[in-house]
Structure 1
Amino acid sequence: MSEAVGGGFTVASFNVNGIRAARRRGFDGWLAQRHPDVVGLQELRCGIGDVGEFAGYTAAIDVGTIPGRNGVAILTRRAPAAVRTWLTHPPKARGLNAFAHEGRYVEVDLADRPLTVADIYLPKGGLPAELQRPGSMREKPDGGAKHARKQRFLAAFARELQRNRLAARRAGREFLLLGDLNVAHLEHDVTNWRAARKMEGFLPEEREWFGEITGPRRLVDVVRALHGDRPGPLTWWSWAGESFVKDVGWRIDHHLATPGLARRARWVEVDKEPAPDLRLSDHAPLVVEYAELEDAGTAAPTDPEPAGPSLG
């Protein structure tokens, strides 16, 4: 792990694939050793009473209403100035309310920095009907229903994301979206990218969507900007086979930041465990250090805002 540089703060995104299982495998030890300032967690996969406490942190949590599914949380060292979930603050974008009970989004305004942090767990989705081949799929063909559902989510969330980013800007805050987007954008983000072109998470329409929500004057893919135009860093490996040992995986976990914050990013690390039997999850924590922001309320983001699509 990198040594923290003075005047900076670290932010981690981690799909724990079940917080209770991750804790049995050593999550709390990782948290104490890494000691990030902010942590976005996805796939808690338990009821609110089973999440537990996190020593040294305040947790903003939405587990949703589907038992054992989804669930997101943001851990902060100081209690946030505000917390918003889709249950307490229903989304305004058309089509997103159908997902509001699923425990997929939480957002906080940090109390000690002019920064809004959001945490998202996107639906995994599925294949469109024309790519479904009975006998070659792990799941029963569904005629493209899961794919269509994910596409509806992506379209609606893009509108909601723009609203939330602009709301943070009006409040004088930078904006950072963490989470498992279940989308890889570039060929560098998937080891076997040629085969992945016909897999959910790397379909042309999903990659196009990622490109539409990111850009140098909207949200910057911080990890790609830091890592450069080369393969990796991967954040997910299948439990099956030797994918983990051979480093055959995907980058579907992300930090997407407004330009002012993205320029402050110093380094990125993936806390990949040294051996398969030490894995905390099928994902690994994605950690970025940012240079410190000014005190909350003292300065507003200064990047010009480009014209964008109408919100609805």
Structure 2
Amino acid sequence: MSAPLRIASVNVNGVRAAFRKGMGDWLEDRGVDILALQEVRAATSDLETLFGPEWNILHDAATAKGRAGVAIVSRRSAGVHRVALGADDFDSAGRWIEADFDIDGTLVTVVSTYVHSGEVDTPKQVEKFRFLEAMLERLPALREHNPLSLVVGDLNVGHTELDIKNWKGNVKRAGFLPAERSYFDRYLGPAGETVTGVDGVSGTGLGWVDIGRQSAGQVPGPYTWWSQRGQAFDTDTGWRIDYQLATPELAALASGYTIDRAAAYDQRWSDHAPVVVDYAV
């Protein structure tokens, strides 16, 4: 029996800085086959230098230099990749990249995405809602394209009260707004059924599966991001905003869900922890 496909995702908060702080050591020991990155904030040539010739690199930089940026770095080359999301007038550059991988005759589609952080009552929040709406349109098409599809990355929304340690203090802040969370109610609601979101808005469920919640059950966290300020990391006052969302067909093949939380604050190479899952494809 062949080894499972190991897929990891992490917001690196600047890939060059992450490597300076020890990301390369983590990667060398982790046995990752496909690695999705967010907030790359570097050029493709930088990625090629950091990862070396044994890795294949797909990279979509943001329109604004030094901002956002998503990539998929893999031990095998992708057959096809796509980077557009949403309407033609919507700038999704550096925030959405899809790749199709032939895994010994089985097609697996992986998306690395970086959803806007948003800011209430500003254009940033408008753009975030446009992105979440575009995902609502794209997810069914992805599943139709390939039943074994996976969307991973920093989605910048805590779906439920279990996903943020201090949820009561954040209900009016970007990242935990009911209108944001309602999109996740629809992404993850029963496929084809009417789903009423936490904000009271109804829509059709898409049937995708949150691998983290499927693995951990209905428990607080486990968190994937901690503020760099104060004692958030040491007290585990975090947010679970980094996800692996799978089609039901792929979710049935998932195991070994792990958040690679650093052993100590000074051993972190990003303010996010990698999310790692094995898929028996």
Say yes or no: TM over 0.5.
yes
Deviation readout 1:80-129 (Å, 9 max, x if unpaired): 1112222xxxx4x43x64213x311111111223211111001111113x
Question: What SS does structure 1 have at the residue aligned with 2:146?
Answer: helix
Question: What SS does structure 2 have at the residue aligned with 1:159?
Answer: helix
Q: 1:97 to 1:115 in 2, by over 3 A?
A: farther
Q: Any conservation in 1 of the 2:47–2:57 contact (CA below 8 Å)?
A: no
Which letter does structure 1 place at the counterpart of 2:228? W
Paired position in structure 1 for 2:197: none
Hey, what's the Cα distance between the residues in 2 that align with 1:203 and 1:216? Answer: 22
Question: What SS does structure 1 have at the residue aligned with 2:132?
Answer: helix
Question: What SS does structure 2 have at the residue aligned with 1:152?
Answer: helix
1:244 pairs with 2:233: yes
Report the CA distance between 1:275 and its aligned residue.
Answer: 1.1
Question: What SS does structure 2 have at the residue aligned with 1:261?
Answer: helix
1:146 pairs with 2:138: no
Q: Which moved more, 1:66-75 or 1:41-50?
A: 41-50
Which letter does structure 2 place at the counterpart of 1:98? F
Hey, what's the Cα distance between the residues in 1 that align with 2:8 and 2:210? Answer: 15
Report the CA distance between 1:204 and its aligned residue.
Answer: 0.3
Report the CA distance between 1:207 and its aligned residue.
Answer: 0.5
1:98 pairs with 2:76: no
1:192 pairs with 2:166: yes
Which letter does structure 2 place at the counterpart of 1:58? N
Paired position in structure 2 for 1:284: 273
Identity %: 41
Which letter does structure 2 place at the counterpart of 1:122? V
Paired position in structure 1 for 2:258: 269
Q: Any conservation in 2 of the 1:235–1:250 contact (CA below 8 Å)?
A: yes
Report the CA distance between 1:49 and its aligned residue.
Answer: 2.7
Structure 1 regions of 5+ residues with no counterpart? 129-143, 294-312
Paired position in structure 1 for 2:101: 110
Question: What SS does structure 2 have at the residue aligned with 1:13?
Answer: strand
Summarize the alignment of residues 101-250 of structure 1 with structure 2, pairs less than 5 Å apart. Answer: 102-112=93-103, 113-128=106-121, 144-169=122-147, 174-217=148-191, 218-250=207-239
CA RMSD of aligned residues (A): 1.7
Which letter does structure 2 place at the counterpart of 1:126? E
Hey, what's the Cα distance between the residues in 2 that align with 1:206 and 1:282? Answer: 22
Question: What SS does structure 1 have at the residue aligned with 2:90?
Answer: helix
Summarize the alignment of residues 45-60 of structure 1 with structure 2, pairs less than 5 Å apart. Answer: 45-53=41-49, 54-55=51-52, 56-60=54-58
Hey, what's the Cα distance between the residues in 2 that align with 1:46 and 1:196? Answer: 31
Question: What SS does structure 2 have at the residue aligned with 1:283?
Answer: coil
Report the CA distance between 1:50 and its aligned residue.
Answer: 2.4
TM (norm. structure 2) is: 0.88
Report the CA distance between 1:219 and its aligned residue.
Answer: 1.0
Report the CA distance between 1:161 and its aligned residue.
Answer: 2.7
Report the CA distance between 1:216 and its aligned residue.
Answer: 4.7
Q: Any conservation in 1 of the 2:107–2:146 contact (CA below 8 Å)?
A: no
Q: Any conservation in 2 of the 1:265–1:290 contact (CA below 8 Å)?
A: yes
Q: Any conservation in 2 of the 1:47–1:67 contact (CA below 8 Å)?
A: no
Question: What SS does structure 2 have at the residue aligned with 1:125?
Answer: coil
Summarize the alignment of residues 33-72 of structure 1 with structure 2, pairs less than 5 Å apart. Answer: 33-53=29-49, 54-55=51-52, 56-72=54-70
Question: What SS does structure 1 have at the residue aligned with 2:162?
Answer: helix
Q: Any conservation in 1 of the 2:62–2:95 contact (CA below 8 Å)?
A: yes
Hey, what's the Cα distance between the residues in 2 that align with 1:7 and 1:216? Answer: 31
Q: Which has the larger radius of gyration?
A: 1
Structure 2 regions of 5+ residues with no counterpart? 192-206
Q: Which has the higher strand share?
A: 2
- Aligned pair count reads 262
Hey, what's the Cα distance between the residues in 2 that align with 1:233 and 1:107? Answer: 26
1:255 pairs with 2:244: yes
Report the CA distance between 1:272 and its aligned residue.
Answer: 0.8
Question: What SS does structure 1 have at the residue aligned with 2:82?
Answer: strand
